[in-house]
Structure 1
């Protein structure tokens, strides 16, 4: 049995891929590919992260994990669960498929080594698949996700400062550092680096690209596609969520805040226009921070790709629309949240800055 382990990175269409894999388990199995249950009802194989991590993530409480001793027992249980599914696989099955962006978003060097120790004995071959998104787009998308989830109430400038610091926060933007963890644990020949760029993806989308490049599947007749439910939020919606975050943060002490969870469905339905955009100077600052590491990635994994790995974006303007919200927008978004989106369509009032 071969393992294809898709590890993200975050904000590269992972949720959509996982929804497709889970919704079409029988379709994939007909083609010899098993998308297994990993002791969770989620499409995201997040339990791999909990089992491999050398620390206890607060969200692991939902799986009954309150100590590292319980994590160790869970790891052993998960390994046996995977082995049982391999043993029960039909004769034509040749590949097991895992997918979790948490494996790049949340794991460090020792965690990845733990994961390799878990998985290597189970499979005859392991292929690690990773999509890399240009860091300026990734920063923009990740900031929106932080505001959506309520992780903090940083301004975009402060978030950008962290993303371009040494070391960067979030860490997975440092693609060389990230890939060196996986190189050490699995070896270069096991790693497949792909670019999350619609202009370069087969069919212009991540699902077609993944199926074609990884499984050589070009006929998708009968494949059911899930709704894309991980859309980005508008620039005013992001600023609205940033300002209310201190009152309903994601975490309450060491646990997830139940009040925030109650708002999650309404937050996910907030408007997605106007789209947020950064300035040309902000984009150049991000790309310059990662230029050397990106060149190492290109030379190591994509030597035929023209340099630089991610080119500059001269089409951007001198200003950004992130962090700006009018009183009218704030009132509208408040009403949207209070009424679950059942708001009257009214002409916008003159823009009055909050």
Structure 2
């Protein structure tokens, strides 16, 4: 039976990818300290979370073994004598009934169950959440996304993912208040490892000797890249609602954008998203209200709640809905050229017999990949 199990439920875009990357990168060393990451991988914990939150779209894509991920995690925790950590930001979607059921399973195999939520100020969360939706196939504008959020409709899934007091009301009804933890993301400009140190303090981790080289990053796209991606997504209507299609679009586009875009080398393209004054002001007011609720709640806070209060003044940046067409075109050209170059540099793939198919005049003299690579390099200025 485990001593303590920590269930990190999100929120999305609050440093979760960064933390999970470090935890899994150091999983063996953490286990030696007595902290188990059950399941053996982030993918298994994601599958377990889909079972907990009863996400029909994801469950339909899973194998029979994957559908048993949650049961295996609970068994693994029960067989461990130290602490355990389950971290999956989509758990914020879980209904109160399903959260109670999941916690009851863990309470049967651990002396203590703790719920952990990481939180970031809303002025930073809205653009990040919108960008994540675009990465998953949506073509909606930031303005349209904000307008839906500003209706303050609890059914809009942004608030289901980001309204921390409501999330904890769903998750904390069967947990002692001192075992419910809000870990605050520091303000921009703070020590980049401060969030990591705050979670280490909470989990009882000694990070001396642990590797802090994050092997995975959930990269932020520049405004021109996002505008280009929205244009591509428009050819796949409602892809963000189709789990399989969303994964294909995101899997192909995301890793290629950062590598190809001139936004990475051209300082004239602002990398930061700026909110319009009305959007910024509304989120400042709503963000302060959320902080006031958290300050009045009995839950344990790690860090300074004032870090969740948005800066009252908008910062510099670019409206991603108003990116000049020339900058979007530059991203598109670089994207296509980089993809062509990558394909040109792949080794030729002969037929099974190693010869050109008889009678195939188009294949008799295939264009040389080396020659194509030279042309693409000349067009893009790459050497």
TM range (shorter): 0.7 to 0.9
TM-fit CA distance, 1:189:
2.4
Note if 1:159 corresponds to 2:159. no
Residue 63 and residue 222 in structure 1: after superposition, are their counterparts in 2 closer, same or farther (change >3 A)?
same
1:147 aligns with 2:144: no
Alignment match of 1:13 (pick from 7, 15, 32): 15
Q: Displacement of 1:116 after TM fit?
A: 1.5
- After TM superposition, the structure 1 = structure 2 runs for residues 102-113 of structure 1, keeping only pairs within 5 Å, are 102-104=90-92, 106-113=93-100
- The 8 Å contact of residues 46 and 100 in structure 1, kept in 2 or not, is answered as yes
Q: Aligned partners of 1:185 and 1:46: how far apart in 2?
A: 23
- 1:8 partner SS: coil
Q: 1:131 to 1:117 in 2, by over 3 A?
A: same
Superposed, 1:208-227 pairs within 5 Å as 208-217=197-206, 219-223=207-211, 225-227=213-215
Per-residue deviation, 1:275: 1.6
Unaligned runs of 5+ in 1: 347-354
Residues 45-90 of structure 1, C-alpha deviations (whole Å, 9 max, x = no match): 212321212441x23333226xxxx99xx35x63245324542x4x
Q: C-alpha separation between the residues in 2 aligned to 1:249 and 1:224?
A: 40
The 3 A distance-change label for structure 1 pair 308 and 35 is closer
For 1:25 and 1:308, the matched residues in 2 are separated by 29
In the other structure, the counterpart of 2:123 is: 136
User: What is aligned with 1:298?
Assistant: 295
Cα distance in 1 for residues equivalent to 2:284 and 2:122: 7
Aligned to 2:350: none
Offset, 1:10:
0.6
Please provide the CA RMSD for this pair. 3.2
Q: Which residue of 2 aligns with 1:337?
A: 335
Instruction: Give the TM-score taking structure 1 as reference length.
Output: 0.80
Q: 1:241 to 1:311 in 2, by over 3 A?
A: closer
Deviation at residue 176 of structure 1 after TM alignment: 1.8
- Equivalent position of 1:316 in the other structure: 315
Pairing 1:1-354 to 2, within 5 Å after superposition: 1=2, 2-37=4-39, 41-42=41-42, 45-56=45-56, 58-64=57-63, 74=67, 78-84=70-76, 86-87=78-79, 89=80, 94-104=82-92, 106-150=93-137, 152-168=138-154, 169=156, 170=158, 171-198=160-187, 204-217=193-206, 219-223=207-211, 225-248=213-236, 251=239, 254-257=242-245, 260=249, 261-267=251-257, 269=259, 270=261, 271=263, 273-300=270-297, 301=299, 310-314=309-313, 316=315, 320-340=318-338
- Bigger share in helix: 2
What's the CA shift for 1:102? 0.9
- Offset, 1:220: 2.5
Output the CA distance in 2 between the equivalents of 1:191 and 1:223: 28
Q: TM-score, normalised by structure 2?
A: 0.75
| Partners of 2:216 and 2:238 in 1: CA distance | 23
User: Can you give the 5+ residue segments of structure 2 that lack an aligned partner in the other structure?
Assistant: 265-269, 342-376
SS in 1 for 2:86: strand
Post-superposition Cα deviations, 1:197-241, rounded to whole Å, max 9, x if no partner, equal 246977653222211333152x42142533342111111111221
